[in-house]
Structure 1
Amino acid sequence: MALIGTLMMPAAATGAATDDPPARLAAGNAHTCVLDGGGRAFCWGYNYQGQLGHSGTANRARPIAVRTHAGVVLAQIAAGDGHTCGLAKNGRAYCWGDGRLGQLGHGGVADQRIPAAVKGPAFTRITAGDDHTCGLGGDGRAYCWGSGEYGQTGTGDLAGRPAPVAVKGPAFTQVSAGGVHTCGLARDGRAYCWGNGVYGQLGDGGAANRPAPVAVRGPVFSALAAGRYHTCGLGRDGTAYCWGEGTSGELGDGGAMTRSRPVAVRSPAGVRFTTLAAGSGHTCGLAGDRRTYCWGEGGSGELGYGGRERRLTPVAVKGPAFSQLSAGDSHTCGLAGPRAYCWGEGQYGKLGDGNVAYRTVPVAVAPAKG
């Protein structure tokens, strides 16, 4: 059923705490998805592996409805490289798209062009990396599935998992999957990371891969955001910290160095963040002044300030006040009231505005079809 006018999504209050509303917007590698107010999923962009979930493989430059099972109402959406996952209100997870490494969690390694049920427990949150997926169980344990090549599933080995397995770590209140690593926030505010660590993105002071969680050598956090090769955390005072790959300025500390421990983002005077989103080579955050700031790689316009230069410290996005953000590979999207906006690289139609042009400032996502 087509939506009339704009994509209608309820506005969500921002907040740094782990009781933030579930993500209703997800920017993947080359595709983007959103949930409307009725729990229906819509996706757009690259679709070779079926990550748009409508049974075909054609790319789409504007939203198209995901063919969810009858009666399934989604509460959260997550997008990886070639796959997408949704979390239903009853805690059941569904995934679709590229399944060759087990990242769909249905017990096999076949692609799925429409959602397939994950063979696992009920989840309260779900997150997707490049080729792996993780969920937070109601028992506070983290579960991961898919590629384990670098230890990103946290099982203590490098084996792939076609269905959810428990992470060998403490109870978590949040879990965030990066490109080939994962991080979790424990109840005491300590952060733990596992998987690929060659750029220091695990934050333990080294550059080794870790197949099980290791503690981040930093302050206590209220939220985490894992990007492709870097990670960021939100301090309880609103200060943002980042670590890992920094050559594009994605750490926001004013330099372009890789860091194996958290460093404070050099925010504008008086700015305190409430939400962070980490992408491939850039990072964005919502601030208490209701403005959005981005930093890092800007060559595709993904920083949203109107130019295409990288920025080593946060720069204000030229757009409306957003309630949620999601950073992908060379593009960023946000929710402002009932509307979705995207900016950056438009290849494959991943900005959802009906064409494939680059956009250096936010543009509204086109009305959905299907």
Structure 2
Amino acid sequence: MSDFQTEENFNAKGEVVMVKKMFGWAAAVLLLAAPACVLAAGSAGGGDWHSLFIGDDGELYAAGVNMNGAFGNGETGFTQESSPVLVELPENQKPLKIFNDGLGAASYILGTDGNVYSFGDSSYMQLGREGDAATPARVEMPEGVSITDMSAGFGYAAAIGSDGQVYSWGNNDSGQIGDGTNSSRFFPTKALLPEGVSALKIAAGDDHTTVVGSDGKVYSWGSNDYGQLGSDTSSRTTPGEVFLPEGVSISDISAGQDHVMAIGSDGKLYAWGGNGQGQLGDGTTASRSEVAEVSLPEGISVMKIANSALGSAAIGSDGKVYLWGSVDGYTSYSVPQAMDLPEGVVPSDLGSTGAGFLISGSDGQLYSVGGNRFGELATGDLSSKSVPFQTGFFLMPQPDSDSANNSSPDAGSGDDQSPTEDVTGSHGFEFSPPEKMDPAFVVEPDTGRVFIMIEAY
């Protein structure tokens, strides 16, 4: 860990905090000098210029560059803080999850009351509310509707409400709001899903939105410049059906910059949209709107998926990680390539950065691969990795081995080890509520310091 350039500071409680911030559409790493157990309840997220994290006291902190109110402390000028600064949320609210938009200067905090609080850049009206942009305030959802899940794209956000409907706000130049217009929206606006259909899964790309509906169909809207809507239509401003293979329903979706992947009910993986780097995995670099099967080895079904901007990844039923598309900014594959982990190690979880992927191994260690010019792979250097790199970081296992979110297979299960259920969002590691241990926490063996892997959208 000596290769990391860190700065020792103190938080509001006088505890030592070491912070390293990576810039860009990629991942960031926060280094917190604290016992492992106290950060079991934490959560984090980052943008292009700043990072947010939940401390061991359950409060929200910000570090890095404070621009356009990104710290939520009321300041709108350009300042920089190398020490974490407390972000004051509304009374009685504690942060559970953090979302950041693709511009990196707006933040969304899911509170314990089910409301989302926003602050920061509002140049695309992406805060979803009126009032001071530099301090956290509640996204103004319709009365009686809370947010159950959300995904942030480029200058806009899309959320699933407690009523099952999709609400979006912010940039709408490609119709990604889904309300039948190209007018950007200041407040959450309901997408025009077919009557009787509610949303189960949601993924926001650069300027397109995709949802899995309660009727078993997949709907998409926004830009279709590369076929990312899964139909031969032009870009559209209202939800339209993705043309799936006959008899196939979708259990999970993930979106990259201009492409979409989906796990089918038949265990196969499907993809459509932009393919300039081979990210559709069909052996070509031709973009297409047709939903077609990814060319995985025969007999392999998919357990988990993730997308970087121009790359794709999956954990197969054979316990291997497959990568295709842009791997590290220099290497691209047009069909899935199995990546070797050390003998006896199988992948248990999968996340992504803007230009790479993070793999949790059954040995508890973090493996990373991809572009790394900001150090986002946590390898101790700035060189890209074309194959998974053993970082030497140990991922903290969850205390409850029976938990549905447990990311570390039982070390005694031998060759029968298999990937566990998904704990990641469409772009990377997602963090658990305070009562659970999240697999994205990393412990440095020599010092016991805790590292939190976080993604900047």
Structure 1 length normalisation: TM-score? 0.76
2:339 maps to what in 1? 265
- The verdict on how the C-alpha distance between 1:49 and 1:224 changes in structure 2, with shifts beyond 3 A counting, is same
User: What amino acid does structure 2 have at the position aligned with 1:131?
Assistant: D
Give the length in aligned residue pairs: 321
Question: Are positions 1:115 and 2:180 aligned together?
Answer: no
Counterparts of 1:123 and 1:152, CA distance in 2: 19
Contact 2:327 2:369 in 1 (8 A): no
Question: Are positions 1:30 and 2:126 aligned together?
Answer: no
Counterparts of 1:65 and 1:94, CA distance in 2: 14
2:90 maps to what in 1? 2
Q: Which runs of 5+ in 1 are unaligned?
A: 10-23, 249-255, 344-359, 366-370
Question: Are positions 1:166 and 2:262 aligned together?
Answer: no
Cα deviation, 1:54-99, whole Å, max 9, x if unaligned, reads: 33695x5x86532222211221111111211111233111111111
Cα deviation, 1:85-131, whole Å, max 9, x if unaligned, reads: 11123311111111111001111111112211111031111110000
1:230 maps to what in 2? 311
2:83 maps to what in 1? none
Task: Look up the SS of the partner of 1:335 in the other structure.
Answer: coil
User: What amino acid does structure 2 have at the position aligned with 1:185?
Assistant: I
Question: Among 145, 148, 155, which residue is 1:72 paired with?
Answer: 145
- The verdict on how the C-alpha distance between 1:309 and 1:69 changes in structure 2, with shifts beyond 3 A counting, is farther
Q: Which runs of 5+ in 2 are unaligned?
A: 1-88, 399-404, 406-422, 442-449
- The verdict on how the C-alpha distance between 1:47 and 1:287 changes in structure 2, with shifts beyond 3 A counting, is farther
Counterparts of 1:67 and 1:298, CA distance in 2: 38
Task: Spell out the pairing of 1:1-370 with structure 2 (5 A cutoff).
Answer: 2=90, 4=92, 6-7=94-95, 9=96, 26-31=99-104, 32-43=107-118, 46-55=121-130, 58=133, 64-120=137-193, 121-157=197-233, 159-170=234-245, 171-218=249-296, 219-248=300-329, 256-288=330-362, 292-305=366-379, 307-312=381-386, 313-316=388-391, 324-325=423-424, 334-335=430-431, 337-338=433-434, 362=452
RMSD of aligned alpha carbons? 3.3
How many Å apart are 1:305 and its aligned residue? 4.8
- The verdict on how the C-alpha distance between 1:145 and 1:57 changes in structure 2, with shifts beyond 3 A counting, is farther
Contact 1:276 1:286 in 2 (8 A): yes
Contact 1:156 1:211 in 2 (8 A): yes
- The verdict on how the C-alpha distance between 1:28 and 1:269 changes in structure 2, with shifts beyond 3 A counting, is farther
Contact 1:105 1:163 in 2 (8 A): yes
How many Å apart are 1:286 and its aligned residue? 3.9
Task: Look up the SS of the partner of 1:188 in the other structure.
Answer: coil
- The verdict on how the C-alpha distance between 1:293 and 1:212 changes in structure 2, with shifts beyond 3 A counting, is same
User: What amino acid does structure 2 have at the position aligned with 1:192?
Assistant: Y
Counterparts of 1:197 and 1:190, CA distance in 2: 19
User: What amino acid does structure 1 have at the position aligned with 2:102?
Assistant: N
How many Å apart are 1:281 and its aligned residue? 0.6
Counterparts of 1:239 and 1:64, CA distance in 2: 43
- The verdict on how the C-alpha distance between 1:217 and 1:333 changes in structure 2, with shifts beyond 3 A counting, is closer
Contact 1:50 1:113 in 2 (8 A): yes
Contact 1:56 1:113 in 2 (8 A): no
User: What amino acid does structure 2 have at the position aligned with 1:227?
Assistant: S
Contact 1:174 1:185 in 2 (8 A): yes
Contact 2:324 2:336 in 1 (8 A): yes
Counterparts of 1:341 and 1:113, CA distance in 2: 36
- The verdict on how the C-alpha distance between 1:221 and 1:144 changes in structure 2, with shifts beyond 3 A counting, is same
Which sits farther off after the overlay, 130-139 or 303-312? 303-312
Counterparts of 1:280 and 1:167, CA distance in 2: 26
Counterparts of 1:70 and 1:145, CA distance in 2: 25
Contact 1:48 1:57 in 2 (8 A): no
Counterparts of 2:319 and 2:397, CA distance in 1: 18
User: What amino acid does structure 2 have at the position aligned with 1:129?
Assistant: G
Counterparts of 2:328 and 2:168, CA distance in 1: 33
Counterparts of 1:342 and 1:276, CA distance in 2: 10
Counterparts of 2:244 and 2:98, CA distance in 1: 28
Greater CA radius of gyration, 1 or 2?
2
Which sits farther off after the overlay, 288-297 or 46-55? 288-297
Counterparts of 2:119 and 2:347, CA distance in 1: 29
Which sits farther off after the overlay, 110-119 or 239-248? 239-248
Contact 1:28 1:80 in 2 (8 A): yes
More relative contact order in 1 or in 2 (CA 8 Å, sep 6+)? 1
How many Å apart are 1:311 and its aligned residue? 3.1
- The verdict on how the C-alpha distance between 1:297 and 1:89 changes in structure 2, with shifts beyond 3 A counting, is same
Cα deviation, 1:270-299, whole Å, max 9, x if unaligned, reads: 443333223321212344455554332222
Contact 1:238 1:272 in 2 (8 A): yes
Task: Look up the SS of the partner of 2:431 in the other structure.
Answer: strand
How many Å apart are 1:33 and its aligned residue? 3.5
1:355 maps to what in 2? none
How many Å apart are 1:223 and its aligned residue? 2.4
